[in-house]
Amino acid sequence: MKTLYLAGPDVFFRDAAARYDALRALCAAHGLQGIAPVDGEPLPPGLGPSQQAEWIYQHNMALLRGCDAVLANVMAFRNPVEPDSGTVFEIGAAVALGKPVAVYDAALSRSTAERVRAAFGQAPGGAPGAQFDATHGFLIEDFGEALNLMLSRSCSVHLDAAEAVAELARRLG
């Protein structure tokens, strides 16, 4: 059975177990097995914070390497626009390993620039996010893509997990 690594900030929610159960059921409906970052061996007791962090990193990377593809929840997390940085790292690692990646979030119906404008405002006559840009000296990428071009060009982009899983099932044959 083909396997999907379930990337995303779901692990940080109080209902993480229910979220993973729902994603696993969705995968199973397509003949796939969903593998969450919390699956496998439990965190060994007695590790300090740095050792825990290293163990989690190694464990998650081993799970990701062992999967056939990645399903990634790219919801804005801890900010109003961008996905979780750990999720983005896992997407990049999967792409580098040659694994197909499908990302999902309902907010992807709007471009990055539109979401930046909604979150940070737009100066009169300015480009999306111009007020934020003026304050911080940033430029906002505006290619009309739902995500940063490095994500939108390397992954299939979907509005929900069901659509993303169906695409990965198709690609994995």
**Domain-wise residue ranges, the chain:** 3-108+148-172, 111-145
**pLDDT at res. 132:** 60
The helix (run of H) or strand (run of E) holding residue 19 is helix 16-28
Q: Quick one: pLDDT band at residue 14, thresholds 50, 70, 90?
A: very high
- Residue 8: pLDDT over 80: yes
Q: Mind listing the pLDDT tens digit for each residue in 58-111?
A: 999 999 999 999 999 999 999 989 999 999 999 999 999 999 999 999 999 999
- Residue 157: pLDDT over 80: yes
The C-alpha atoms of residue 118 and residue 98 are separated, in whole angstroms, by 35
For residue 128, which amino acid is it?
P
The C-alpha atoms of residue 110 and residue 52 are separated, in whole angstroms, by 37
For residue 169, which amino acid is it?
A
**pLDDT at res. 125:** 56
Calculate ∠ Cα 157-100-162, nearest 5°: 50
Assess contact for 113 and 128: CB atoms under 8 A.
yes
pLDDT, greater one: 126 or 160: 160
The C-alpha atoms of residue 143 and residue 21 are separated, in whole angstroms, by 36
Q: Mind listing the pLDDT tens digit for each residue in 25-35?
A: 999 999 999 99
**pLDDT at res. 114:** 85
Q: Mind listing the pLDDT tens digit for each residue in 102-156?
A: 999 999 999 988 887 788 776 555 655 556 666 666 667 778 899 999 999 999 9
Provide the whole-model pTM. Answer: 0.91
Helix (H, G, I), strand (E, B) or coil at 57: helix
Q: Which architecture, in CATH terms, is 3-108+148-172?
A: 3-Layer(aba) Sandwich (3.40)
Alpha-carbon separation of residue 92 from 47, 89, 137, 145, 158 (angstroms)? 28, 5, 26, 18, 17
**pLDDT at res. 141:** 74
**pLDDT at res. 134:** 64
The Cβ of residue 87 has, within 10 Å, a number of other Cβ atoms equal to 22
- Residue 53: pLDDT over 70: yes
The C-alpha atoms of residue 148 and residue 125 are separated, in whole angstroms, by 23
**pLDDT at res. 173:** 95
The C-alpha atoms of residue 69 and residue 34 are separated, in whole angstroms, by 10
> What are 105's two structure tokens?
């979030």
